[in-house]
């Protein structure tokens, strides 16, 4: 069904979640709300349930910090949560940087920047795993959490909740990089947190599924997808999107007018049979 609502419903929900979470975090610091305290590095939900960034905890482990029980519980909660809703759902439903890079991507599309830079991407999407490994090595050598001191994600999120300082420069750098240097540059190539959630998402339960019978090969899904290599099965086979690099942003589902893409629960049997 081709209606405005159908074509943008998930985008609306995503922006609603992203901004809503920011408001809840902001309210906790500004007005003492108890719904969601802290920030994306570590939070306290309803003043009881802890939730901590597992990647930050991994860096702490590499740096040789003593892990507190409270932190480990928080990490377990976050890991379980993203295991269920899809690892990189963090990227497209929670991360505030997503709005910045989506804006850059949108501008790329409407200004025709993509035609200037060409379709062939000059950089590998595996850089994020290198950065991930590097962050753990540097954490271990320097004895500090390496990515946490440069992370534009926590810089911006913390900035919005606690005061931003020069943090806006990080937003601008990422925006310019994605707009002029590399399409989906930060989120799709470099961000080690995305890399971390990609690995976690390899096993996650909620997946996008393609129905080849309904596909009319319009390829709208491939145009909107920020990680379009994960949609390799479009028009070829009825398969779930199994790559952990899928962010579950659901843009492909909403642009599809032929009901050829939908959310589904991963079936383990199919996973084994078809592979990736």
Q: Which residues bind another protein (CB under 8 A)?
A: 28-29, 32, 37-39, 41-44, 50, 52-53, 56-57, 60, 63-68, 70-71, 74, 130-131, 133-135, 137-139, 141-146, 148-150, 154-155, 158-159, 161-167, 169-170
Residue 195: CB minimum distance to another protein, A: 14
Nearer to another protein, 53 or 102 (CB): 53
Residue 28: CB minimum distance to another protein, A: 6
Nearest Cα neighbor of 24 from 72, 79, 94, 99 is 94
Strand partners, 37: 44
Nearer to another protein, 41 or 101 (CB): 41
Nearest Cα neighbor of 41 from 149, 121, 115 is 149
Residue 139: CB minimum distance to another protein, A: 8
Nearest Cα neighbor of 100 from 8, 223, 185, 198 is 185
114-to-89, 98, 121, 149 alpha-carbon distances in Å: 26, 19, 10, 32
Nearer to another protein, 193 or 215 (CB): 193
Q: How many CB atoms lie within 10 A of CB 215?
A: 20
Nearer to another protein, 75 or 255 (CB): 75
Nearer to another protein, 68 or 181 (CB): 68
Residue 196: CB minimum distance to another protein, A: 15
Residue 131: CB minimum distance to another protein, A: 8
Under 8 Å between Cβ of 38 and 28: yes
Residue length, the chain?
Answer: 276
DSSP, res 206: E
Residue 83: CB minimum distance to another protein, A: 20
Label residues 42-54 b or e (16+ Cβ within 10 Å = b): bbbbeeeebbbbb
Residue 46: CB minimum distance to another protein, A: 14
Nearer to another protein, 85 or 123 (CB): 123
Residue 64: CB minimum distance to another protein, A: 6
Rounded CA-CA distance 46/259 in Å is: 38
Nearest Cα neighbor of 225 from 192, 248, 195 is 248
Nearer to another protein, 75 or 246 (CB): 75
Site of tokens 């960034």: 53
Under 8 Å between Cβ of 260 and 231: no
Nearer to another protein, 43 or 204 (CB): 43
Rounded CA-CA distance 172/100 in Å is: 9
């Amino acid at each position: 069904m081709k209606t405005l609502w159908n074509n943008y419903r998930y985008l609306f929900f995503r922006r609603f979640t992203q901004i809503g979470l920011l408001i809840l975090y902001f309210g906790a610091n500004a007005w003492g709300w108890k719904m969601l305290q802290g920030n994306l590095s570590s939070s306290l939900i309803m003043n009881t349930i802890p939730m901590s960034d597992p990647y930050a905890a991994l860096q702490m482990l590499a740096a040789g910090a003593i892990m507190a029980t409270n932190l480990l519980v928080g990490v377990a909660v976050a890991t379980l949560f993203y295991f269920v809703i899809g690892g990189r759902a963090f990227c497209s439903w929670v991360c505030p940087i997503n709005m910045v890079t989506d804006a850059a991507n949108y501008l790329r599309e409407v200004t025709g920047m993509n035609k200037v830079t060409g379709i062939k991407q000059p950089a590998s999407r595996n850089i994020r795993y290198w950065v991930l490994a590097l962050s753990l090595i540097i954490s271990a050598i320097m004895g500090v959490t390496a990515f946490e001191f440069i992370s534009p994600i926590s810089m911006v999120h913390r900035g919005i909740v606690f005061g931003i300082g020069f943090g806006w420069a990080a937003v601008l750098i990422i925006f310019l990089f994605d707009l002029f240097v590399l399409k989906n540059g930060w989120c799709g190539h470099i961000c080690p947190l995305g890399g971390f959630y990609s690995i976690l998402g390899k096993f996650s339960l909620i997946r996008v599924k393609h129905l080849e019978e309904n596909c009319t090969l319009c390829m709208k899904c491939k145009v909107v997808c920020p990680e379009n290599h994960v949609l390799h099965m479009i028009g070829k086979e009825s398969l779930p999107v199994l790559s952990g690099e899928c962010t579950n942003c659901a843009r492909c589902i909403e642009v599809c007018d032929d009901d050829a893409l939908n959310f589904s629960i991963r079936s383990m049997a199919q996973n084994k049979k078809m592979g990736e």
